[in-house]
Amino acid sequence: MIWNYLRIAYRNARKNKVIAGINIFGLALGVAACMLIATYVLHETSYDSWVPENDRIFRMYAAYKQDGEILKGTHFSANTAITVNQDFDEVMAAGRFMDNELFDGAGENNIRWDGDQNQHREDGFSYADQELITMLGVPMVYGENATALASPKTIVLSKSKSEKYFGKTNPIGKTLYLNSNDEDPYTISGVMEDFPSNSHLNYDFLITLTDVEFGEGEQTRWFQNNYFTYVQLKPNVDYTALEERVSRRIVGDYMAPAFVEAGYQQPGELERTLDLKLQPLANIHLHSGEISDTYTRGDIRFVWLFSIVGGLILLIAGINFINLSTARSANRAKEVGMRKVLGSHRKELIGQFLSESVLITLVAFVVGAALAQAVLPFFNQMVDQELVLPLASPLFLAVLIASALLVGLLAGGYPALYLSRFKPITVFSGGRSEGSGSSKLRSGLVVFQFAISIVLIAFTLVAHRQFNFMLDREVGYDRQQVIQLSSTDVLGDQVTTYRDEIQKISGVAAASISDYLPLSDTKRNGNTFYSEGKTEADNGTAGQAWVVDRFYLETLGLELVEGRNFPDQIPEGQNYTIVNEEMVSKLGLESPIGKKIQRGDRKDEIIGVVKDFEYFLYSDDKTYPLALFPGISSTLMSVKVDGQNIAQTLAALEETWDAFGAKMNFEYSFMDESFAQMYAQVERVRTLFSGFAILAIFIACLGLFALSAFMVERRQKEMSIRKVLGASGQNLFGLLTRQFLILNLIALLIGIPIAIYFMREWLQDYSHRIAISWDVFAIAAMIGLAFTLATISYHALRTVFANPMDSLRDE
């Protein structure tokens, strides 16, 4: 019996190639999109699940109340981990990462292997505790996970870095020098597997923290916060209850007394403003939006966004399926009638139609899987991942088949119920073969499709504008024609000479030495500033203290609103600073020039106020208090060039570089590109979203195309008669398209408010955002109408130009 059904299904498909093609192809596109999205979503939600006991491992973070806001940070003092481990039985182990670039060895380094003359630039260094790699169960290629970082001066590298330098050989025992520091060698004690792509960590070099102290007392001081702290709990510990006790104990018994003793806080202050929290390891990737750490991470909102878009695409494809099936009902009515006469129960007919739709869906899923596999490389490029479709996994196949069945049953369900209801007597006596109910439903579904399309178009437009706005807006500095040279610290004392030398090159307008730049991933620090003499009276303000040279403002095009730049020579005994407007306002300074600001014991005179510029402190782009201090921070150099002949200028820069005998390759980057890079995630989301939106609209148009073919076919005779009676081509075209245009307008009315709502919500997340203007909807409506007209015109025009006698003759 089932073969009989399938045979019919196959022959029907062959007979109506276009319809079957649209059904299968549309659904396959939807399935492919869904598969890619699902793979992406699964990857995003699988972060850190590779860690064996991830449900018992937590990252600590601090929630700090300031100015009515809660700031969340993940940096703790060195002794936090040790103390938590000692004081709480529930804690099985605690371990730390330290990747703050302020300390030699962390972040980026120039490295040299024993026996190699050349320096190499490598990123991805972090200090780490032995406890941490044990806790995370980091798999090792060479060496023991349990002891690799136990001894002082050891380093573990990733498999890919090991292979880069040592090929397939075991490098354990080899010696490594960091930053030309040849008296201070490190020994390779292990090679770990690269952190998987679904890990929130991405270090290539782990230096042991055993016996490390960054300055005297650093390991025991409570207010020098540079460590990411992770704890592993014993089984069956309620972490929310524990975190409260940890918070009370650590803040109340250790931190607060230390802060009061150092004069940083009034008694009771810290207990009121600071809470320590535990964040489950698996939540770090997607649920850290407000937590400031240095990791690039995912965003649960994007996961939701894409899941919804994936669902909508499948829904649109499913609606096509329903609409085409019921529209075709006239052609199937006779068969239904006859089968009933031959003794078929309704149940059997429902079974027949369902097996037909399941068959089509299965084919569509197979085609869809192939499509997904084919576009996977492009998709990976877009999401910056190396996702793999688990096509060989039995579970994946099972889910695939189950979804095909489900989609087939859902999309085929209504048509099956509808078609199987035909009564033979009505069918054979040539009565109405199509219930008005089904055409109402069809109209409703078409409106729904249109509405989704309009929302997606509008959303795509707004996202596009928002993104352009973010990239092009005024940020307070000029990033055009600024080049960053990296590793300039290899020049040593010569770095200032090099700077002065290249300023003589004709294409160079200015050059400045500083590691502190308004780009993410450049140096940052944390300080508390007070206005002079008010250390007792208020809490001060958190701010950045950047070391820059006197060409900094000129090179980056920063604007002085008051005062002057740093002089060539700072007079003996004078401490100068230039602060930003935010600092002035946070400290409540009136006429700030000449006033002094204080941090620790140090007092600096404000000689200038620079206009606020955005500098990416956290992953947001707000402006925070900032003070510039004269000095040399020598890893990066920024060069402002004029627009003429940049290639020639770069060549001259490199020539000078080589003339200085630098032991590194000349490396540079353009600041505007680095800036755009910071928005890579936003850019990716935008591209992906536009892609999926276009796909959704395309699938909807496919359905519309086929549906219009039916509608036109049904009215062929009517149109022919009208034509014979003298109707013009325009008349007929209007008649044929009017119905769809009306549906389009209804969809517009429904879609626009929904679009407005979601766009508002979405834009809320951006501190710099565009206003939603009405032309977005005008454009979305135009696009929607244009697509609709273009799609249905094909069939409508064919009818308009057809010879009326062709359809009237055989009557």
Partner 1 sequence: MINLQHIERYYRAGLAKNWVLRDVSIEIQEGEFVTIMGPSGSGKSTLLNIIGMLDTPDRGGYEFLDEPVHKFKERRRTELHKHYIGFVFQAYHLIDELTVYENIETPLLYRKIKGSERKAMVANILDEFNIVAKKDLFPHQLSGGQQQLVGVARAIIGKPKLLLADEPTGNLHSSQGEMIMDLFKQLHTDGMTILQVTHSEKNAKYGTRVIEIEDGYIRKDYAPTDG
432 binds partner 1 (CB under 8 A): no
User: Does residue 421 touch partner 1 according to CB under 8 A?
Assistant: no
Q: Which residue, 41 or 358, is less far from partner 1 as judged by CB?
A: 358
Q: Is 196 a binder of partner 1 (CB under 8 A)?
A: no
Cα(32)–Cα(26) distance, rounded to whole angstroms?
A: 10
Q: Which of 107, 337, 476, 540 binds partner 1 (CB under 8 A)?
A: 337
Residue recorded with tokens 């600001």:
597
Which window, 333-341, 373-381, 483-491, 531-539, contacts partner 1 (CB under 8 A)? 333-341
Smallest gap from residue 430 Cβ to partner 1 (A):
10
Token pair 């792509």 in the structure block, residue: 197
Q: Rule CB under 8 A: is residue 433 a binding residue for partner 1?
A: no
Please select the residue that binds partner 1; options are 59, 174, 328, 339, rule is CB under 8 A.
339
Tokens 């680095």 sit at which residue?
674
Q: Minimum distance from CB of 425 to partner 1 (Å)?
A: 5
- Shortest Å distance, C-beta 6 to partner 1: 12
Among 65, 234, 345, 602, indicate the residue that binds partner 1 (CB under 8 A): 345
State the nearest-atom distance from the C-beta of 352 to partner 1, in Å. Answer: 11
By CB under 8 A, tell whether 537 contacts partner 1. no
Q: How many CB atoms within 10 Å of residue 742?
A: 12
Please identify which residue in 6, 12, 603, 669 interacts with partner 1, judged by CB under 8 A: 12
Q: Where are the beta strands (DSSP E) in 256-349?
A: 274-280, 291-292
Out of 343, 394, 573, 643, name the contact with partner 1 by CB under 8 A.
Answer: 343
Binding piece for partner 1, criterion CB under 8 A, among 211-219, 243-251, 329-337, 789-797: 329-337
Note whether 780 and 454 are within 8 A (CB).
yes
Residue type, 38: A
Q: Compute and round to an integer the Cα radius of gyration of the chain.
A: 34
How far is residue 446's CA from residue 541's CA, in Å, rounded to a whole number?
58
CB of 21 to partner 1, least distance (A): 18
Q: Give the tokens for residue 542.
A: 């958190």
Q: Is 225 in the site for partner 1 (CB under 8 A)?
A: no
Q: Is 415 in the site for partner 1 (CB under 8 A)?
A: no
**Is 473 a binder of partner 1 (CB under 8 A)?**
no
Question: In this complex, which beta carbon is closest to partner 1, that of residue 248 or of residue 345?
Answer: 345
Instruction: Using the rule CB under 8 A, give the single segment among 217-225, 423-431, 559-567, 641-649 that binds partner 1.
Output: 423-431
Question: Pattern of binders to partner 1 over 367-406, x per CB under 8 A?
Answer: ----------------------------------------
Q: 485 forms bridges with which residues in the sheet? A: 637, 668
Nearer to partner 1, 14 or 809 (CB): 14
Question: Segment near partner 1 (CB under 8 A), from 150-158, 302-310, 417-425, 777-785?
Answer: 417-425
> Which among 80-88, 337-345, 474-482, 640-648 is the span making contact with partner 1, rule CB under 8 A?
337-345
105 binds partner 1 (CB under 8 A): no
Pick from 344, 528, 535, 690 the residue near partner 1 by CB under 8 A: 344
Which two three-digit tokens encode residue 55?
Answer: 């449900």
Query: In this chain, which stretch among 22-30, 75-83, 112-120, 420-428 interacts with partner 1, using CB under 8 A?
Result: 420-428
Q: Which helix (H) or strand (E) holds 779?
A: helix 774-801
Determine the 3-state secondary structure of 659 from DSSP. Answer: helix
The rounded Cα 147 to chain-centroid distance in angstroms is: 36
Q: Among 17, 342, 394, 601, which residue sits at the site for partner 1 (rule: CB under 8 A)?
A: 342
Site for partner 1 in 39-98 (CB under 8 A): none
State residue 225 phi and psi, 5-degree precision: -100, 100
Amino acid present at 725: L
Closest approach of Cβ 15 to partner 1, in Å?
A: 7
Applying CB under 8 A, does 523 fall inside the site for partner 1?
no
Residue 810 touching partner 1 (CB under 8 A)? no
The SS3 assignment for 547 reads strand
246-254, 286-294, 339-347, 657-665 -> range binding partner 1 (CB under 8 A) = 339-347
In the list 244, 348, 620, 654, the residue contacting partner 1 (rule: CB under 8 A) is: 348
Smallest gap from residue 7 Cβ to partner 1 (A): 7
- Residue 701 host element (H or E): helix 680-714
One residue of 139, 196, 424, 631 binding partner 1 per CB under 8 A: 424
| Binding of residue 340 to partner 1 (CB under 8 A) | yes
Cα–Cα distance for residue pair 269/287, rounded to 1 Å: 29
Q: Kindly give the residue spans of alpha helices, DSSP state H, lying in 528-661.
A: 552-556, 581-587, 646-659
Is residue 713 within the footprint of partner 1 (CB under 8 A)? no
CA distance 522 to 717: 73
What residues have CB less than 8 Å from 696, skipping those under 6 apart?
309, 312, 313, 316, 452, 453, 456
Whole-number Å distance between alpha carbons of 206 and 150: 12
What SS3 state is found at 113? strand
| Single residue of 70, 397, 402, 425 touching partner 1 by CB under 8 A | 425
714 binds partner 1 (CB under 8 A): no
Record the tokens describing residue 448, joined without a space. 């729904």
- Give the torsion sign (CA, 238, 241, 243, 249): negative
**521 exposure class (CB count in 10 Å sphere: 0-12, 13-18, 19+):** middle
3-state secondary structure (DSSP) of residue 106? coil
Distances (CA, A) of 319 to 279, 689, 703: 42, 21, 8
The residue written with tokens 């600590």 in the block is 60
Which amino acid belongs to residue 405?
L
| Pair of tokens at residue 454 | 């309009």
Residue 118 carries which DSSP code? -
The answer to the question of residue 328 lying near partner 1 (CB under 8 A) is no
Least CB distance to partner 1 at residue 321 (A): 19
For residue 440, state whether it binds partner 1 (rule: CB under 8 A): no
| 296 lies in the binding site for partner 1 (CB under 8 A) | no
Q: Nearer Cβ to partner 1, position 4 or 767?
A: 4
Among 428, 469, 757, 794, binds partner 1 (CB under 8 A): 428
| Minimum separation from the CB atom of position 350 to partner 1 (A) | 14
Distance of CA 799 to the CA centre of its chain: 49
| 1 is a site residue for partner 1 (CB under 8 A) | yes
Nearest of 367, 374, 369 to residue 391 by alpha carbon: 369
Is residue 341 a contact residue for partner 1 (CB under 8 A)? yes
Count the alpha carbons within 13 Å of 403 in the hemisphere toward its beta carbon. Answer: 23
The residue length of the chain stands at 811
Count how many Cα atoms sit within 13 Å of the Cα of residue 202 in the half-sphere of its side chain: 10
Contact flag: residue 18 with partner 1 (CB under 8 A) = no
C-beta of 360 vs 491, nearer to partner 1: 360
Q: Which of 53, 218, 335, 434 binds partner 1 (CB under 8 A)?
A: 335
List interacting residues with partner 1 (CB under 8 A): 1, 4, 7-8, 11-12, 15, 334-335, 337-345, 348, 423-425, 428-429
